[in-house]
Amino acid sequence: MNETLVIVGAGRLGRSAHQILTTAGHSVVLIGRNTAIPAADLTWLTVPDRAVSDAARAVPKGGVVLHASGALEVDVLRPHEVVGSLHPLMSFPGPEKGLPSGTVPAAVAGDDAARVAAHDLAKKLEFSPFTVEGDRRLYHAAAVLAGNFTTTLLVQASRALAACGVPEDDARRLLAPLASESLTNTIALGADALTGPVARGDELVIQEHQRALDGLEPQLGELYEALTKATRQVKG
């Protein structure tokens, strides 16, 4: 007998997961968070963090309940007896714009039976599950540092390049190969992948960068100063 699966939350992740599962031939029901939730063997809440608790209270008792939050503990899903989480460590722009390419790591946590259910769901989604047992705040902060702040850095770098007369849309495209190659090298080499003035100890260049960015926009100067300090620590 096939297990029933309900995804609650028709946002970018919920719609993407629904498309992946249905394309692979799996039976799944996708509903909005303001719709009555049917009973199911497994219910996955892909709603915003602020809505997880209310959504959990609306889930009929008896099945496994998972949330897709990176930051929340699984106890927010109590008093359901079997609770856990499945959080894809990836950005989802929505199926209309495209699905992530390559392997999608997905963090699993919760009660024993919930972890088994989360692993099974991850496999159906063709995600690569791994277990997170520590502080959820640190796990989610790591995701934000690697994911969200990468976007911030490229946008801010593009603004600096645009100030030299390069159109900002072109600036992002021109900087992308450097950013991508640096990331690839860092995955393989860690801190040994560092290049540039901090790695070389070229303090005069760093000082000139700082003056130029301070003059262009104070917040860019502050960002450069903070990242230079952090890079010195990484370099050791």
Phi and psi torsions of 160, nearest 5°: -65, -40
Q: How far is CA 89 from CA 25, 111, 147, in A?
A: 24, 20, 9
The CATH number of the domain holding residue 84 is 3.40.50.720
Distance CA 32, CA 47 (A): 9
Q: How far is CA 57 from CA 53, 79, 138, in A?
A: 6, 8, 27
pLDDT band at 217 (very low <50, low <70, confident <90, very high): very high
Q: Of all residues in the chain, what percent carry a pLDDT higher than 70?
A: 99
Total of domains in the chain: 2
144 shares a domain with 89: no
40 shares a domain with 126: yes
215 shares a domain with 162: yes
Q: Does the structure show a pLDDT above 80 at 207?
A: yes
* Angle between helices 203-216 and 218-235 in degrees, nearest 10: 150
DSSP β-ladder status, 104-110 and 83-88:
antiparallel
93 shares a domain with 58: yes
| Residue given tokens 């890079």 in the structure block | 231
105 shares a domain with 14: yes
For residue 169, the model assigns a pLDDT of: 87
Q: What is the mean pLDDT of residues 145-157?
A: 95
122 shares a domain with 24: yes
Q: Which domain covers residue 36, as residue numbers?
A: 5-133
Q: Which residues pair with 67 in a beta bridge?
A: 45, 85
Average pLDDT, the chain: 95
The CATH number of the domain holding residue 213 is 1.10.1040.20
Q: Show Cβ contacts of residue 129 under 8 Å, excluding neighbours closer than 6 positions.
A: 86, 105, 106, 107, 108, 118, 119, 122, 123
Which of 100, 133, 166 is at the close of a domain?
A: 133
For residue 101, the model assigns a pLDDT of: 86
For residue 215, the model assigns a pLDDT of: 97
Task: Kindly state the tokens that stand for 200.
Answer: 């070389």
Which of 133, 168, 197 is at the close of a domain?
A: 133
Q: Does the structure show a pLDDT above 70 at 1?
A: no
Which of 115, 133, 151 is at the close of a domain?
A: 133
193 shares a domain with 121: no
Q: For residue range 22-48, what is the model confidence (pLDDT) as tens digits? A: 999 999 999 998 899 999 999 999 999
DSSP β-ladder status, 64-67 and 42-45:
parallel
200 shares a domain with 151: yes
DSSP reduced 3-state for 72: coil
Q: Does the structure show a pLDDT above 80 at 98?
A: yes
95 shares a domain with 174: no
Q: Does the structure show a pLDDT above 90 at 12?
A: yes
54 shares a domain with 143: no
231 shares a domain with 197: yes
Length of the chain: 236
103 shares a domain with 166: no
